[in-house]
Structure 1
Amino acid sequence: MRKLALTDEILLNIEKPARYTGGEVNSVMKDTEKVDIRFAMCFPDVYEIGMSHLGIQILYDMFNRREDVWCERVYSPWVDLHKIMKEQQIPLFALESQEPVRKFDFLGITLQYEMCYTNVLQILDLSQIPLHSADRTWEDPIVIGGGPCAYNPEPLAEFFDLFYIGEGETVYDQLLDTYKRCRREGNSRLQFLECAAGIEGIYVPGLYEPSYHEDGTLADFRPLSPHAPAKVKKQAVMAMDEAVYPMNPVVPFIKATQDRVVLEIMRGCIRGCRFCQAGMIYRPTRERSAETLKQYARTMLDNTGHEEICLSSLSSSDYSGLQELVTFLIEEYQGRGINISLPSLRIDAFSLDAMQKVQDIRKSSLTFAPEAGSQRMRNVINKGLTEEDILEGAGQAFAGGWSKVKLYFMLGLPTETEEDMQEIAVLADKVARTYYEIPKEQRHGKCQITASTSFFVPKPFTPFQWASMCPAEEYVRRAAVVKHAFAGQLNRKSLKYNWHDAEVTILEGVFARGDRRVGPVLEEAYRLGCLFDSWTETFHNEPWMQAFENTGVDPDFYTLRSRSEEELFPWDFIEIGVSRTFLRREWELAMKETVTPNCRQQCSGCGASGFGGGVCHEGKSEV
């Protein structure tokens, strides 16, 4: 019988002990004597968040299909257990075997959000693995990072041995086989890292060196080894129907954030919003066939016992087989007590009809993401959504039985004016007015419009990567402008306004845009007690500001400074397919308030088709 890493006494004195016991349905157990590689797959947040992440489920399934590999899972211990493990020197352990992570060959950490970076250091610290790659030996695992934040890996460079740039289904087998060969041949750790650097999509930060101009900007970024390429090319899966997909996903013991079967219907997005990193780094658009997804749905529901199925993508309305797939799911499962979740849909007649059939309208709310209140700002960001589209969709929704709508906006976007800010409240009021314009007998309860604003962060590989941010106090001032505008609206009793934390936004900007010089800030912040910074109840700005002061790093250099057209970015050594020329052209079009047609209307020559399978205006391959 498997022995738990934590005693009964500890388990009884911490929140949600089932986070740490493992043994869930469909979790994989193997004999350690019969595998060559042990891989600990980590999501640096609590169990409930990590268990909802599809990427880890895919890699967990893919690795465990290999007889010579055992992949296990590890998540960040919550603050209560973190304290106990530090005090009692209990090493962090994997869920399946309950054995220390330090015994593993690889520790893979997915990097989804910059504000989880202190949790990355927590994982290394509790695992008793040296924080710095340079201090590790073969007694320690190879620490590898991946995910969207790996598209600017430099703030984390000294903490990772490798970064995997792109989608994990492509060259991981080659990396694992290279590891086995190097260990068999008695190679040093450095020799393995040099071999790994020769695999397309693998970045070994220890084999590169940056240099800087006197003004602090990046002057050069060069390989130190002939094994390290000058450019690292992202990995992308082209044949989606042939890609690995988890037919037996692990079923959590406790309620996860997304406790359901997930069908990934497509990758990429045709829309081209200029603030959106995912819309650029996941190009080109690639779909799974409706027939494949139908089979996935049948198999995964049978294998999990889940009572909900969700369609996952960046923009589900753009999936060409949506009507066929949704019709199938409704006809096949609605009468069997299976809920169907349809996120990321544009609110059109078909979508509303489908949602009426699968949702409890009395409880559910519809979500629109106009991103900006004025048409001028929506043109700047290339949202491709008019006020008429929004109000018409809202009107159809209200006539269909909904009375609750959520609206998502951004503040601090390039060229934003006071009028643009106020227009957020004006648009929300117009949506509410649309509700009161329908006949009373068609209304369903009180109208509730909830508007939320996040603050803009210019992310790498977006047309807005040249933009500056605002100081935290300016973000707060802009939120106050919007709040005041809401108070003056005719339908203000039906309106509610929320906004994001400005201090968190500044930190997100530093680490999204930072270089290697911000790594010491992260380490100092962790030493000062920063942890779970993405959680409101555990975020504290004061130790972060102390960490900047202690390390002599000025956060304003990374957030408030506009970039020149020629400036070399810390992430420019990565090739994502979308060209820098295209991104700069889109930046210039944004300054002219000019909209670029979506990829199905017209190919704009972004370069992503170089990876194969790109989408042009006819919806066919560009190549």
Structure 2
Amino acid sequence: MRENDIPLYALESLDPIKDFDFIGFTMQYELSYTNVLNMLDLAGIPIFAADRGDELTQIVVAGGPCVCNPEPLADFFDIFILGEGEEVNLELMDLYWEMKQQGATRTQFLEKACQIQGIYVPRFYKYSYGEDGIISKVEPTNGAPAIVKKRIIKDMDKVYYPENFVVPFTEIVHDRVSVEVLRGCIRGCRFCQAGFIYRPFREKSTDTIFRETKCLCENTGYDEVSLASLSTSDHSDIDPMLTKLIDYTAGEKINLSLPSLRMDNFSESLLEKIKKVRKSGLTFAAEGGTQRLRDVINKNVSEDEIMNTCRIAFEGGYSTVKLYFMMGLPTETDEDIIGIADLANRIVDLFYSIENRPKGRGVQVSISVATFVPKPFTPFEFEPQDTREMIEHKQKLLMDSVKSKKIKVSYHDPNVSQLEVILAKGDRRLCKVVYEAWKKGCKFDSWDEHFKFDKWMEAFEECGVDPAFYANRRFEYDEILPWDHLDYYVSKDFFIRENKTARQSKTTPHCRLKCSGCGVSKEIGGPCFAESKSNI
């Protein structure tokens, strides 16, 4: 496109992107940051927000999970939208139209926009740093609020959900109907950012889910439906909901796909429903190889539950099981790593001990091990990441501990995980690093064949930024974190309390058993949905 002087354009209308009033990005993953710069450059839009002048046009906006700490992108965006966009997007568009009619400038529009809850305008916040490099002060300017609160939708049955959308005639990544089942999570796993930034927990009713599924399938012609949520099996009406959906999809010859399942609420009745829609293996997230470590991360899954889940799966005709684990978790020891291999070995032994196991097939236990990345808005946001040398030692230890050919192990590149944590926990000083890395040819960093770790390290060095300051340093409880002026309803005091509880290898019950006092109820003015369903 650059060689032929073709600007980036809209896929359907072919209009140049630079002619749009708003240019929006959904930031799902830290390693996509350089792609934003690349797209702006291809569109002919100035990469730095400060270079776009004061004309009210080309407003560059971002939302998605990564904007819970948007500071490494602050110099490139005009607006970040915190939380859920169904209502705030409309309010922002209405304001834009009104001020455009009045002939307002970009600055005047942004000064009004930042008064809308959920709108964060980074140019209106001034950062100061101490001699130790830690943030000493964040000062709002231009009348911007000192704390920016996220937006949420309270009633999931009334929220707008698109029933007609463009169906591409080319193959895309998520080439299916996606139906949202619930938002938030009751569990409180201490490593999981999504489980906290999407609180409070809210469900759609079975009738709403069924109506949207049927309508979308009829309108699009898709023959596959995916139920989207953090933990679909935590829906309070899971069995009747699946029965109703399966009856419909089976009759219409539509595939129904379910996400990974929890081991503490897996049952034979649930398996019977899953067998009707999933013929391949089952996937579960165990996360830790020992009970001590699972308690540290508040997984609240026992080894008995893990083994019982695998037994139900094997007796139900499955011979392939995939388990997700992490390494580099806080307080982790070599014993915890060896525990992953030991657990996998016991699952293999369990398969062959079952008389009514699937005949004519051997068991296959796949172990996928990710490197732990401490994320903002989690109890582990204060924790350092293991160094690359430590992770490589643990990866080798795990491989050496796996003896059975029935066990297949895969793990992540520690260099990728290191860059991910730096961008996840970084501040505005990383903007220049992201820019320099892009200039050195870094883009599509999440693709192995395009990842240029050496170029990133060159960018850090040339910008005078130490990667270890963000990746391998423990953040203190009382220091100002880059995201402390953003409010996702869960309090920092709660994260500190949970971090201390983790250090004692103690667990916190999930929200339906007991309110943990995370702060959400205070923000929404009453008990959250999970509390109201506590009798389930």
Q: TM-score normalized by structure 2?
A: 0.97
Change in Cα spacing, 1:186 to 1:405, as seen in structure 2 (3 Å) is same
2:533 maps to 1:619:
yes
Return the alpha-carbon distance in structure 1 between the equivalents of residues 108 and 431 of structure 2: 25
1:139-218 correspondence to structure 2 within 5 Å: 140-218=57-135
CA contact (8 A) 1:401 1:444 kept: no
1:313-332 correspondence to structure 2 within 5 Å: 313-332=229-248
1:298-447 correspondence to structure 2 within 5 Å: 298-346=214-262, 347-360=266-279, 364-439=280-355, 442-443=358-359, 445-447=361-363
Gaps of 5+ in 1: 1-84
2:367 maps to 1:451:
yes
Moved more, 130-139 or 269-278: 130-139
Return the alpha-carbon distance in structure 1 between the equivalents of residues 298 and 380 of structure 2: 11
2:154 maps to 1:238:
yes
Q: Partner residue of 1:494?
A: 406
CA contact (8 A) 2:193 2:375 kept: yes
User: Which of these residues, 192, 195, 201, is aligned with residue 285 of structure 1?
Assistant: 201
2:430 maps to 1:518:
yes
When the two chains are superposed, the root-mean-square deviation of aligned CA atoms in Å is 1.4
Superposed CA deviations along residues 49-102 of structure 1, whole A, max 9, x for unmatched, are xxxxxxxxxxxxxxxxxxxxxxxxxxxxxxxxxxxx122221100112101100
Return the alpha-carbon distance in structure 1 between the equivalents of residues 358 and 443 of structure 2: 49
Superposed CA deviations along residues 371-426 of structure 1, whole A, max 9, x for unmatched, are 01000000000001001001100011011111111111000000000100110111
Return the alpha-carbon distance in structure 1 between the equivalents of residues 275 and 149 of structure 2: 44
Return the alpha-carbon distance in structure 2 between the equivalents of residues 261 and 181 of structure 1: 35
Q: CA deviation at 1:335?
A: 3.2
1:72-87 correspondence to structure 2 within 5 Å: 85-87=1-3
Q: Which residue type is aligned with residue 555 of structure 1?
A: P
Q: Which residue type is aligned with residue 524 of structure 2?
A: F
Q: Which residue type is aligned with residue 405 of structure 1?
A: V
Gaps of 5+ in 2: none
- DSSP-derived class of the 1:445 partner: coil
CA contact (8 A) 2:79 2:122 kept: yes
- DSSP-derived class of the 1:299 partner: helix
Q: CA deviation at 1:442?
A: 3.9
Q: CA deviation at 1:439?
A: 1.5
Q: Partner residue of 2:471?
A: 559
Q: CA deviation at 1:614?
A: 1.0
- DSSP-derived class of the 2:337 partner: helix
- DSSP-derived class of the 2:376 partner: coil
Q: Which residue type is aligned with residue 418 of structure 2?
A: I
1:27-106 correspondence to structure 2 within 5 Å: 85-106=1-22
Superposed CA deviations along residues 337-392 of structure 1, whole A, max 9, x for unmatched, are 111112133332232111112222xxx11101100100000000000100100110
Return the alpha-carbon distance in structure 1 between the equivalents of residues 163 and 415 of structure 2: 41
Return the alpha-carbon distance in structure 1 between the equivalents of residues 281 and 341 of structure 2: 19
Q: CA deviation at 1:435?
A: 0.8
Return the alpha-carbon distance in structure 2 between the equivalents of residues 257 and 198 of structure 1: 37
CA contact (8 A) 1:450 1:496 kept: yes
Q: Which residue type is aligned with residue 103 of structure 2?
A: G
Return the alpha-carbon distance in structure 1 between the equivalents of residues 196 and 396 of structure 2: 32
CA contact (8 A) 2:22 2:61 kept: yes
CA contact (8 A) 2:56 2:105 kept: no
Moved more, 289-298 or 504-513: 289-298
CA contact (8 A) 2:315 2:356 kept: no
Q: CA deviation at 1:618?
A: 5.2
CA contact (8 A) 1:402 1:444 kept: no
Return the alpha-carbon distance in structure 1 between the equivalents of residues 350 and 38 of structure 2: 49
Return the alpha-carbon distance in structure 1 between the equivalents of residues 331 and 464 of structure 2: 31
Moved more, 349-358 or 154-163: 349-358
Return the alpha-carbon distance in structure 2 between the equivalents of residues 350 and 287 of structure 1: 22
Change in Cα spacing, 1:549 to 1:571, as seen in structure 2 (3 Å) is same
Identity %: 47
Return the alpha-carbon distance in structure 1 between the equivalents of residues 282 and 233 of structure 2: 15
User: Which of these residues, 490, 493, 512, is aligned with residue 578 of structure 1?
Assistant: 490
Return the alpha-carbon distance in structure 2 between the equivalents of residues 324 and 440 of structure 1: 28
- DSSP-derived class of the 1:572 partner: coil
CA contact (8 A) 1:129 1:140 kept: no
Q: CA deviation at 1:251?
A: 1.8
CA contact (8 A) 2:56 2:109 kept: no
Q: TM-score normalized by structure 1?
A: 0.83
